[in-house]
Amino acid sequence: MDTRDFSGEHHAFCAAYEDTLAFLEARQEACPLSLIDLEGELYHLTVYEGQDWGGRGVLKSAEIQGQISAYVTFIDAVKNKA
């Protein structure tokens, strides 16, 4: 991936998305998770996202958004396989 044209936020989002998706795929292959487990983890990520009372900054926020997007993508793929 060529990141020279990406903003810091966009790069943080893409890196988190790709890393999280690869992590979820490896976990699913090693020990399959139920949709309930995956959706529970997604729920907790969204709660964490909303707890920005201390002002975590744009890069960390973009990273969390990337993780959430990866979970949504992965959950959709699992649902479509079922």
Tell me, yes or no, whether 76 lies in a domain: yes
Tell me, yes or no, whether 57 lies in a domain: yes
Structure confidence by residue, pLDDT tens digits, 46-66: 998 877 766 778 888 899 999
Task: Say how far apart CA 21 and CA 73 lie, in whole Å.
Answer: 8
Tell me, yes or no, whether 16 lies in a domain: yes
Task: Provide the domain count of the chain.
Answer: 1
Tell me, yes or no, whether 25 lies in a domain: yes
Tell me, yes or no, whether 1 lies in a domain: no
Tell me, yes or no, whether 2 lies in a domain: no
Indicate if the pLDDT at residue 1 is higher than 50: no
Structure confidence by residue, pLDDT tens digits, 3-45: 455 688 999 999 999 999 999 999 999 999 899 999 999 999 9
Q: Which domain holds residue 39?
A: 8-81
